[in-house]
Structure formats: C-alpha cells, structure tokens
A and B are shown apart, each in its own frame.
Chain A
Amino acid sequence: DAGITQSPRYKITETGRQVTLMCHQTWSHSYMFWYRQDLGHGLRLIYYSAAADITDKGEVPDGYVVSRSKTENFPLTLESATRSQTSVYFCATSPNSNQPQHFGDGTRLSIL
C-alpha cells in the first residue's frame, strides 16, 4: 500500500553498528507503530507514537530508539545492533488507537 513506505527493504549490518529504519506515511494518521516479527512469536510491539513528539514503549523496547518530530515519519534506530535484533521489522499506522492498523512492506534486517 503506497500510504506507508518503509526503507530500506533489506539491510545487512554488523554487530555494534548503528542502523536506522525509516517509515513514512502519506495518510496523516495519528498513530504509528513499530513491530518486529520472529518465527514463533508473531508480531511484537517495539514502540508506538500517538502523535508528533509523543512516543511510548511497547512489549520489547530494549535496544531501540524512536523519534517522531513530524507526523509522517517514525524512524526506528538500533543504537548498537546485536544478533538478537535480526528480524523483520514492520511499521504500521492507524487514524486512532481503536481503528485498524495498516502495515508497510517491512524491512528484513540481518545482523552478522
């Protein structure tokens, strides 16, 4: 869905490196979310944002940093990547907290 763009789609990096995953939306949805997807765990929430300059932790926030200076962007940063952070990362948006969430195409991140 062109409303949400994640970049890059694929990334390989080394342990200890900083890496930033980008999420951009064109819908002006208030809520934005970051999930990681690992086999056997489904989708686990890392961080979410209810509006610009408002962010909150999800289920698995350790090792991640987010910011939301503009409504349309919600970058996710791994400050010092670890192998356990190898995963597929999905960004999602919704108009408000109890409306359907729409997902981006995901970023497949491998940390060697």
Chain B
Amino acid sequence: GENVEQHPSTLSVQEGDSAVIKCTYSDSASNYFPWYKQELGKRPQLIIDIRSNVGEKKDQRIAVTLNKTAKHFSLHITETQPEDSAVYFCAALGVSPNDYKLSFGAGTTVTVRA
C-alpha cells in the first residue's frame, strides 16, 4: 500500500514568516493529495487538495505544489498568523486495484510565535 512520510514533525515560525511542510509518497500511481488542518481537540478539516494533473494550486495564503517525478508534495503557508497554529496532515490516495484508500503522514505541529 501507499506510504507517506511527512517532515518536519514540528515547526515554529515567527508571525508573518512562511511555513513549508514536505511529504513524500511511495505509490507512483497516486493521483490525489489532500492536506488537513487539525486544531487542538477538533476534527481534521480539509484546507486544500491537489490532483496529479496539476503542479500547483493556491488558495489565498495557502499553496500546494506537487512533483510527480520525485513523488513529493509540499504545503506552503505565507504571512503566517496565530490562527495558523495547528497540526497539519498530508495524505495520498493509493490507487492500486481495490486500494482506493488515503494514507496519512504523521503530522506537523505548527506553532506561530507572536
């Protein structure tokens, strides 16, 4: 099945600076890559996703890039704000026969310092 690795596990940034989280995946056939944000004690919430036919996608201060050749994708948060403090999870959809399942990275705890 799909294996997703996520780095770093923790990230501390100054308010206003950028944050970058990187993930690698193992299944070259994977074609869907969502990112989730989870605040303390809350549910994971989808913040952005990208499909394999696109190299980059932006939504206001959030962007995701995908490099299919290298099998890695990244989340970029610009102009970070205190409300960006949370745990972020990347995921990849395994597309082997009978294997349409999301595999998640272990998460990155982002802390934005005021």
Using a CB–CB cutoff of 8 Å, the interface residues on chain A facing chain B are 1, 33, 40-45, 48, 56, 58-59, 90, 97-98, 100-106
Chain A to chain B: the 6 pairs with minimum beta-carbon distance, closest first: A97-B100, A103-B43, A43-B104, A42-B106, A42-B104, A100-B46
Among residues of A, the one whose C-beta sits closest to the C-beta of B46 is A100
A64 to B36 alpha-carbon distance, docked (Å): 25
Secondary structure at chain B's binding surface: helix, strand, loop or mixed?
strand
Whether A59 and B1, one on each chain, are in contact in the complex, defined by CB atoms closer than 8 angstroms, is yes
Report the interface size for chain B: residues with CB under 8 A from the other chain: 25
A90 to B45 alpha-carbon distance, docked (Å): 12
A45 CB contacts on chain B under 8 angstroms: 101-103
A87 to B57 alpha-carbon distance, docked (Å): 34
B107 CB contacts on chain A under 8 angstroms: 42
Whether B44 and A43, one on each chain, are in contact in the complex, defined by CB atoms closer than 8 angstroms, is yes
Among residues of A, the one whose C-beta sits closest to the C-beta of B106 is A42
Whether B46 and A102, one on each chain, are in contact in the complex, defined by CB atoms closer than 8 angstroms, is yes
Interface string of B88-114 (1 = CB under 8 A from A): 010101010010111111110000000
A103 to B91 alpha-carbon distance, docked (Å): 14
